Amino acid sequence: MAVGSLALVVLVAAASRAQDGASSPAAGGPRSEVVDAARLLGDLEALSADEMQGRRTGTEGGAKARAYIVEAFRRRGVQAFGGGYLEPFAFEHRGQTYQANNVVGFVAGKSKGGRCLVVSAHYDHLGVVNGETYNGADDNASGVAALLALAEYFAQRRPAHTIVFAAFDAEELGLRGSQQFVAAPPVALSEIAADVNLDMVSHNDRNELYAAGAHASPFLKPYLDRVAARASVRLIEGHDDPKLGHDDWTMQSDQGAFYKAGVPFVYFGVEDHKDYHKPSDKFASINQAFFVRATETVLSTVRLLDKNLDKLPPRAATEKAGAEKQ
């Protein structure tokens, strides 16, 4: 969808505010030694602002959010694949045709060729429902803001392996963006060692962040254990055992598309809270200090996986489990 001039003014101004805020964190606000806490919070606030109209797929608000992410990628040194950052696709849902776009870029690793990581988060939400805006601060402006923080970190500190950053559209309409990505990835699927997916990482009063994925890919557990041992949040491994029934999160967000394709995943998220899928999921409702700590924890995981990526089993050794669950 084309973004009008007014939308461009709004998103560029918002992006500039987030950038400028990096040098002047709010008095008493959370700080970090490894990520720009003010910019992280600024991105979340901008993406969940009323101007984004709840970021529903195929709407003006969704287009504004998408353009914001494109501008953030450009500013922070994320490279585009050959055709640019946008990967358009169309799909049918309940009798309606949607035009959607993933936003995808990468930070090149020091090694030439070889395997890569994907860091993903969906940027769409529910939009405006019965006249009320569902801002989706935690779901999932938080995941996208954290993704942007990681993109900036690795653009400034080149990783050992290439990291693909993917902001998916239409997760709320059935994981459509991630399914499209897996069906037509910008790199060979066999080269993707793992997906690190972020969905709802800013709202928890108990300082608890969950990491799912090691049940399907046990070789990930030692790395998650190492991160958990030194994390400033309580990192809990779980919500990934099919025997749990409704508590199994494997297919509950975009990591599900990777899992079905045989790609290992780590999914970071919090348990549902009182504001989940409600108009009250606003910037004012998140836990700012927790969000900063959660982002630091995700960054620690990606750094550790990047360092040890060549030790992870090849896709052929993990895809069978996913295929059996399709």
List the pLDDT tens digit at each of the 326 positions of the chain.
233 434 444 444 445 445 443 434 455 789 999 999 999 999 999 999 999 999 999 999 999 999 999 999 999 999 999 989 999 999 999 999 999 999 999 999 999 778 999 999 999 999 999 999 999 999 999 999 999 999 999 999 999 999 999 999 999 999 999 999 999 999 999 999 999 999 999 999 999 999 999 999 999 999 999 999 999 999 999 999 988 777 899 999 999 999 999 999 999 999 999 999 999 999 999 999 999 999 999 999 999 999 999 999 986 555 444 444 44
Q: What pLDDT shows up at residue 26?
A: 57
d(CA 71, CA 15): 7
d(CA 238, CA 224): 11
Q: Tokens representing 219?
A: 């070789």
Q: What pLDDT shows up at residue 21?
A: 37
Q: What pLDDT shows up at residue 317?
A: 52
d(CA 209, CA 212): 10
Domain 5-324: CATH class, spelled out = alpha beta
For the chain, the structural domain boundaries read 5-324
What CA–CA distances, in Å, run from 52 to 132, 180, 223, 248?
A: 13, 24, 37, 31
Q: What pLDDT shows up at residue 314?
A: 83
**Considering only CA atoms, which of 294, 274, 298 is closest in space to residue 120?**
298
Enter the DSSP assignment of 157: S
The residue assigned the tokens 């109209």 is 53
- By residue count, the chain amounts to 326
**Considering only CA atoms, which of 38, 39, 46 is closest in space to residue 14?**
46
- 3-state helix, strand and coil shares in percent for the chain, rounded to the nearest 5: 45, 20, 35
Residue pair 307/240 in contact by the 8 Å Cβ criterion: no
Helix (H) or strand (E) holding 61: helix 60-76
